[in-house]
Structure 1
């Protein structure tokens, strides 16, 4: 566990700074464009490059590319360098072509993801923003491939710190837009849209440059290679077919959620896609800092153990990752459940946002907080299959999840009052990953001949027992402040500092007394760093 903890700590530090600057970026975005028509148009356009990149490469990286690079490094006489160069060549050429096609087809793509009751002007604004943002896809590809190669060399710092540069660039752009732009979609100009769109893309370009420099420093030299025959990429294509299915199924579910959320926003302004998107971004903060860091460190090592036929070590690696992730995700989820509205009040109550808009996002975030544990464990379980090169089972799990989530979301849309629809969509997400996690655990356990479910359940029980008093303490602080005064930005900040700080300290103290080994390991790591 110590190696994973050290690697995860390095990544978590970078991710924490990245997510905190992302907080600032998200708050500035909300202040600049709001959660009404222009905010919905921007968020819809912003999602399109990520959707296309996810469809074409992102899912393949973790499920296929990283394990194959590891095997090529072990198998090939040149340590896998030629294989890496071929992969980079395909990423650059293929995603550049996709970016060009995406710009040409921006209008029909936007129409696919927006609600039928959007006005012609709103769709055109979103399309214009999408045209400025779609070139990001090519830079996404270069950066992501560079990050994957760095991870297989156990160089985790740059991929986690590079997004900080992206955020800083976009923060500057949003400050400029707040000073000269408008949140009124009827008054927005082409100059305003150019600043928002090109400025957002500039952040991704800067992020890619950082990763390219880091890759150069570890000795990688890019040389375009098109000699694909006999390179082993045929195996990658076969494996990737199921990954593409997995991603496509997930994106189909995302399409349903987006259309329902945008429709809800037309029926209840301020309670639509922007509210869902902002709450989901905040939900990703603890997941990104904690779970992604551990997952990134775990997958290459699990892949090596499986390639060597050492399933015992692979099981130990997974069990250690689950316990380490849960030790931090459990209290984070319960504290979000209690403090979600305070978090969003501090972040979003500025500019063109009202306190009411911010509180609504907080209520959505509370539901997402409950989903932190099942969602994180589900993502860890997927890596069990990926370490075996099995991409078919995750595709089947995705089909189950999307079917359940879409069904529940449609029911929420048709039955709930408009202002509660997005909260219903978040609840559908929670139920889906809770059910999906149980199914995935059963299948993964068969795959790797046991996952130690009783031991993990016992560890989770101790963590929840330690976290419940922490959440109760935070709730007590919230209740006390609300009894004394109304919730404003200042009082919400007091609740966060006092309630969140007291809750975390109480959790660490109780977990330490209950001898939760992961908490003791974290305390030991911090103490050793402080003592130097």
Structure 2
């Protein structure tokens, strides 16, 4: 537990700074271009490279590439160095080709992801932005492979801190856009030069991020030599493992396609209630998982892979149990706070400039619904890594397919039942229900694989965490009610006060209650922080 906690704390610090600067980035973006037509066009174009990378690479990294590199480090005479060089060579060439093809196919891709007509201005703007943003595919992919190699060497800091550089570059670009363009949210008035500033500036951030990772890899002792002897790249073994992972990513991306089409259609009916609020609320929802969950998973997977390779299943169960309890200690109170404080979080972040306070409140409403999904989503992701540590990439496909099918059915149902102004909130609710059911199914299957996951102990620990978090939720609710009675409609000042009292004091109250209740994971965190303060 202590080793996992230390490694996770190092990564969480970098991820926290990354997410904070990411918030500043989205704040400046909303200020500069708003969350209506131009904002939706940018957010769709921005999401496409990540979707393509999920299909081609990122889904394979955690489930296939990391275990393959670990095996090469253990079995190859050179410690896997030549194998790592072959992977980086292959990824570089493949992603340059993919980036070029994607730029050419930008109109077809935008048509696939949205409900917009090809003749309308919003579609044309989205295509132009995508053409400027899609070249980042090559740089993002190279950085991702470099980060995977660093993780297998227990070098976690650079992959967690590199996105900060990306965010800082894009923040400067968005500030420049807001200063230069007088009416930056008008989709009809924006010029190609202004779109180039937005799109190429976004790509420049990814280039900077990849550069940081490549430099860190070199400092870790990795010497890159282009290797084209792909017969020794074990592509056959990788394909066997990766085909199912790619299948899983394809299934989830089909769900994302449906989401963007439904959200874009809702935005056509009610301005400011489309893709942008869904995207911005999702980014806020991902913050706790990104800071804590990703850090724990990144530290957990290589160790679980080694334990499985050596037949030490008891360590797999111990590693998983420690991870889920450590994540739950943070996710449980934060999920309750998101459900209560959604608008109070969104208004100070997004209620400025080209974006109205009303639109910011709606982002907060979507975030409140997403709060329901936080714990199930985090547990679901942890469970997938149990399968990946065994080299099993097939089971997650079936689990993901079932989860996505339920999500898709619920999205269509709620979209047709709810008025357009509530449609995106319905999409978030469908997501929460689907991942709760998916986590339950994944738990049953993973438990059979390792002979039990300590479900009773985990359930008791999570129950104690929820009980410890109840006073925090009550305090947050009382703060929201008090501010509404005093100020009426949400605004900047009352939202900040609500966050300070309901969120800040609420988390302190949770830590105190949980520490007094002797919840080990919270006590460890409190003890570590107190020790550093005393120094």
Normalising TM by the smaller chain, what interval?
over 0.9
Match of 2:140 in 1: 140
Shift of 1:201: 0.2
Aligned with 1:456 (options 448, 455, 458)? 458
- The 2-side partners of 1:118 and 1:281 are apart by 28
Match of 1:77 in 2: 77
Match of 1:370 in 2: 372
Aligned with 1:466 (options 459, 468, 478)? 468
Aligned with 2:519 (options 511, 516, 524)? 516
- The 2-side partners of 1:119 and 1:428 are apart by 32
- The 1-side partners of 2:277 and 2:192 are apart by 25
SS at match of 2:352: coil
Shift of 1:311: 0.3
- The 2-side partners of 1:357 and 1:231 are apart by 50
Shift of 1:151: 0.5
Kindly indicate whether the alpha-carbon contact (under 8 Å) linking 1:477 and 1:499 is maintained by their aligned counterparts in 2.
yes
- The 2-side partners of 1:398 and 1:252 are apart by 11
Give a deviation string over 1:41-91, Cα, whole Å, max 9, x none.
111111111111111000000000001111111111100001100110111
SS at match of 1:35: coil
Let me know the Cα RMSD of the aligned residues.
0.9
- The 2-side partners of 1:506 and 1:64 are apart by 42
Pair 1:407 & 2:409 matched: yes
SS at match of 2:231: coil
- The 1-side partners of 2:534 and 2:304 are apart by 32
- The 2-side partners of 1:308 and 1:348 are apart by 50
Aligned with 1:227 (options 207, 210, 229)? 229
- The 1-side partners of 2:55 and 2:8 are apart by 27
Match of 1:417 in 2: 419
Give a deviation string over 1:105-155, Cα, whole Å, max 9, x none.
111111111114575321111000000000110001110011101111111
- The 1-side partners of 2:54 and 2:372 are apart by 25
Match of 2:306 in 1: 304
Kindly indicate whether the alpha-carbon contact (under 8 Å) linking 1:66 and 1:152 is maintained by their aligned counterparts in 2.
yes
Aligned with 1:444 (options 443, 446, 453)? 446
Kindly indicate whether the alpha-carbon contact (under 8 Å) linking 1:99 and 1:135 is maintained by their aligned counterparts in 2.
yes
- The 1-side partners of 2:101 and 2:355 are apart by 35
**TM-score, normalised to structure 1's length?**
0.99
- The 1-side partners of 2:230 and 2:117 are apart by 47
Match of 1:290 in 2: 292
- The 2-side partners of 1:133 and 1:192 are apart by 13
Aligned length: 532
Kindly indicate whether the alpha-carbon contact (under 8 Å) linking 1:106 and 1:131 is maintained by their aligned counterparts in 2.
yes
Kindly indicate whether the alpha-carbon contact (under 8 Å) linking 1:117 and 1:263 is maintained by their aligned counterparts in 2.
no
Pair 1:105 & 2:105 matched: yes
Shift of 1:99: 0.2
Match of 1:483 in 2: 485
- With 287-296 and 223-232 compared, the bigger mean Cα shift is at 223-232
Shift of 1:415: 1.3
Shift of 1:442: 0.2
Pair 1:167 & 2:167 matched: yes
Match of 1:494 in 2: 497
Shift of 1:16: 0.4
Match of 2:270 in 1: 268
Shift of 1:310: 0.3
- The 2-side partners of 1:482 and 1:341 are apart by 12
- The 1-side partners of 2:356 and 2:121 are apart by 25
Match of 1:208 in 2: 210
**TM-score, normalised to structure 2's length?**
0.98
Shift of 1:232: 2.3
1:80-91 equivalence runs, <5 A: 80-91=80-91
Pair 1:37 & 2:33 matched: no
- The 1-side partners of 2:119 and 2:173 are apart by 27
Match of 2:150 in 1: 150
Q: Structure 1: any 5+ residue segments left out of the alignment?
A: none
SS at match of 2:79: coil
- The 2-side partners of 1:480 and 1:260 are apart by 36
- The 1-side partners of 2:299 and 2:375 are apart by 19
SS at match of 1:229: helix
- The 2-side partners of 1:41 and 1:9 are apart by 37
Kindly indicate whether the alpha-carbon contact (under 8 Å) linking 1:16 and 1:289 is maintained by their aligned counterparts in 2.
yes
Match of 2:356 in 1: 354
Match of 2:56 in 1: 56
Q: Structure 2: any 5+ residue segments left out of the alignment?
A: none
- The 1-side partners of 2:315 and 2:139 are apart by 36
